[in-house]
Structure 1
Amino acid sequence: MSNCDNCASSSNCNKKDKGCNKIESKYGNFKKIIGIISGKGGVGKSTVTGIIAVKLAKAGYKVGVLDGDITGPSMPRILGISNKRNLIVQKEGSEEVKFIPAETEFGIKVMSLNLMIESEDQPVIWRGPVINNVLNQMYVDAEWGDLDYLLIDMPPGTGDVALTVMQGIPLDGMVIVSTPQDMVSMIVKKVVVMAQKLKVNILGVVENMSYIKCEKCGEKIRVFSKKSAEEQAKYLNLPLLSEMPIDLELVENLENGTAEKYIYDNKDYDELMSKVCK
């Protein structure tokens, strides 16, 4: 598991006397666990998770993705594996089960509720405690094996699941995803303050949809705000990891289920991965 020095609860932990309050994976060993979160939906948090995962895999790391956005899972679509399934294996003579992650073309292991239901458009109508239990089980009982990085695509906001991940899983760091609007930055700030209160290490912020690049002259056209990504990052008091444009080619590949290959070949996203790996 991750080093205790990087654990959000290390300052209040007395492992010898009380035991660690973090959840342990039965079948996984992770060098780094990184959470990716946003203040609200629709800002590209899951897309950023997919980009980081693919670029880490390209760099030779063993990568897993836990789709923690239980009521709005989208990682199978982003990574082009909607046709696959997470297998559930029951130990003979007991009620103990083990989940087998699906794997992408480039070997990324994925656990998602959308890979365990009949139809991806089937809604999950569960209350918070049930959602938390399912998330914990997908983390604990999945056969992750030895991974360099486990990425957790968290639900937006400061609700139950975000609290469960920040308090219960030994995160080594967290990436915040935002967009240029002041209104979004204000909502994202709530997540930043929450993480700081829980002593979670924040690696920095990714500003998504920062601009559109003119195909003819290459000029950056800012659609949502005249403020720069650096100004927004300064407001959040976080390092800027990446300023990502609206990429229509990526959107088309997401729709066609070929985004993993597109991201793999696109060098524009290399900087983001290198900063997450620091």
Structure 2
Amino acid sequence: MTAQGDALLGDAVRAAVGAVSDPELRRPLADLGMLRDIRVDGGTAHVGIALTIVGCPAAQRIERDVREAAASVAGVDAVDLTVGVMTSDERRELTERLRGARTRTIPFGPESLTRVIAVTSGKGGVGKSTLTANLAVALARRGLAVGLVDADVHGFSIPALLGLVDDAGRTVKPTRIDELILPPVAYDVKTISIGMFLREGDEGAAVAWRGPMLHRTVQQFLTDVHFGDLDVLLLDMPPGTGDVAISVGQLLPHAEVLVVTTPQTAASDVAVRSGLVARQTGQHVIGVVENMGAMTLPDGTVVDLFGSGGGERVAEALSTAEETVALLAQVPLSPALRAGGDAGIPVVVADPDDSAARAIVDLAARLSVRPRGLSGRSLPVTPR
């Protein structure tokens, strides 16, 4: 082949390799500045790329995808791949490019197009985290870009519910590019939790933090974690109306709130308080979900293990003369829902025909019909 032909083939290889997406950043390698010398000589494609950090957890996948992309170009007989690492200046430039004009500020403010939904409950044990994890996956399966913050610092469980653990049972760690944190992805949901930052061997330890540390942790999750452009950001809140609830109210006063309860009075009466506190900080209660509702057995028998009517009572108590709060979903007791949580495979994936899975999928459909709007929001444009 002539030198001109090799040059044209090199351009084709560069385009193919540049289109490969980084599995963590979800952007093409060309946009991330990860391409190096790429040329073709006698049918052999010589490809150079630079990973973001030493020990990049996505290295093997990137190398495989790059080899396949280069080899797919007609005229390429072999691929010679050289893998390096970005310099500190290149990483700094990358983080600035990813952050854009934003410098360590919360990107989910009132002007953001991302819907922020805090999932709250009055007390623990109502299945709030299991519901939140499945709701996040159900929204992602509808084609939405979804992020999930495990704000239940003391009782974090989201990583396990989404299967973000390795073969040894250790929680998957996020990747750091200088001060930028890349959240692990499970079932197309970008997820962050304090459990991902505990030292190896401390995964089962208690996190005994007080107010100021809790506030800084939530703030860092919202500031330093690079979620990218999201349609929906879910926050799995701790039960009750303590420090984290107050911090989230201060940091995200425009957030929407979804209140979770069980049918029994002991849960529903307390659940009302979480909605009232959220409303006091300016947040908007968008609805109530009743979890662990009546279960229908194969013979048709209905079992109300936790009674009935709790969701309706919470919705009625949170409704005002100006606004009616709806009971958006009633999720029945489900062995499959519990089993999916234990296995790290959400029931909406593992058993989509299960009654609880169908209820959560229907909830996701109801929540997703409210598109991100521009009305009343300032846009980053300057008239000329």
Q: Return the TM-score normalized by structure 1.
A: 0.82
C-alpha RMSD of matched pairs (Å): 2.0
Aligned partner of 1:246 among 333, 354, 357: 333
The reply to whether residue 103 of structure 1 matches residue 190 of structure 2 is: no
Supply the distance in 1 between the matched residues of 2:299 and 2:270 (Cα, whole angstroms): 35
The reply to whether residue 271 of structure 1 matches residue 354 of structure 2 is: no
Cα deviations by residue, 1:54-97 (Å, 9 ceiling, x for unpaired): 1110100010101111111111111111232112332xxxxxx1
Supply the distance in 2 between the matched residues of 1:146 and 1:246 (Cα, whole angstroms): 35
Structure 1 partner of 2:316: 234
Supply the distance in 1 between the matched residues of 2:175 and 2:283 (Cα, whole angstroms): 32
Structure 2 partner of 1:18: none
Shift, 1:205, TM fit: 0.5
Q: 1:232 to 1:170 in 2, by over 3 A?
A: closer
Shift, 1:121, TM fit: 1.4
Cα deviations by residue, 1:170-205 (Å, 9 ceiling, x for unpaired): 544110000111121111111122122222111111
Cα deviations by residue, 1:133-184 (Å, 9 ceiling, x for unpaired): 0111011000111111111111111111101101212544110000111121
| Runs of 4+ off more than 6 Å | none
For the Cα contact (< 8 Å) 1:32–1:171, is it kept in 2? no
For the Cα contact (< 8 Å) 1:58–1:264, is it kept in 2? no
- Higher mean C-alpha deviation, range 222-231 or range 50-59: 222-231
After superposition, residues 148-159 of structure 1 pair within 5 angstroms as 148-159=231-242
Secondary structure of the corresponding residue to residue 114 of structure 2? strand
Higher relative contact order (CA 8 A, sep 6+): 1
The reply to whether residue 212 of structure 1 matches residue 295 of structure 2 is: yes
Shift, 1:50, TM fit: 0.9
Supply the distance in 2 between the matched residues of 1:157 and 1:116 (Cα, whole angstroms): 24
Supply the distance in 2 between the matched residues of 1:101 and 1:264 (Cα, whole angstroms): 26
For the Cα contact (< 8 Å) 1:82–1:115, is it kept in 2? no
Supply the distance in 1 between the matched residues of 2:329 and 2:359 (Cα, whole angstroms): 10
Aligned partner of 2:107 among 25, 45, 55: 25
Which amino acid in the other structure matches residue 75 of structure 1?
Answer: I
For the Cα contact (< 8 Å) 1:25–1:141, is it kept in 2? no
Aligned partner of 2:286 among 198, 203, 208: 203
For the Cα contact (< 8 Å) 1:87–1:99, is it kept in 2? yes
Supply the distance in 2 between the matched residues of 1:101 and 1:213 (Cα, whole angstroms): 38
Give the percent of matched residue pairs that are identical in Structure 1 and Structure 2. Answer: 33
Q: 1:121 to 1:239 in 2, by over 3 A?
A: same
Unaligned segments of structure 2, at least 5 residues:
1-104, 167-171, 320-324, 371-384
Shift, 1:47, TM fit: 1.1
Shift, 1:220, TM fit: 2.9
Aligned partner of 1:137 among 209, 216, 220: 220
Aligned positions, number: 246
Structure 1 partner of 2:45: none
Secondary structure of the corresponding residue to residue 145 of structure 1? coil
The reply to whether residue 87 of structure 1 matches residue 169 of structure 2 is: no
Supply the distance in 2 between the matched residues of 1:229 and 1:24 (Cα, whole angstroms): 33
For the Cα contact (< 8 Å) 1:54–1:264, is it kept in 2? no
Supply the distance in 1 between the matched residues of 2:254 and 2:350 (Cα, whole angstroms): 29
Q: 1:103 to 1:147 in 2, by over 3 A?
A: same
Supply the distance in 1 between the matched residues of 2:189 and 2:297 (Cα, whole angstroms): 33
For the Cα contact (< 8 Å) 1:158–1:194, is it kept in 2? yes
For the Cα contact (< 8 Å) 2:137–2:346, is it kept in 1? no
Secondary structure of the corresponding residue to residue 223 of structure 1? coil
Secondary structure of the corresponding residue to residue 129 of structure 1? helix
Supply the distance in 2 between the matched residues of 1:228 and 1:45 (Cα, whole angstroms): 15
Structure 1 partner of 2:259: 176
For the Cα contact (< 8 Å) 1:70–1:131, is it kept in 2? yes
Shift, 1:232, TM fit: 4.7
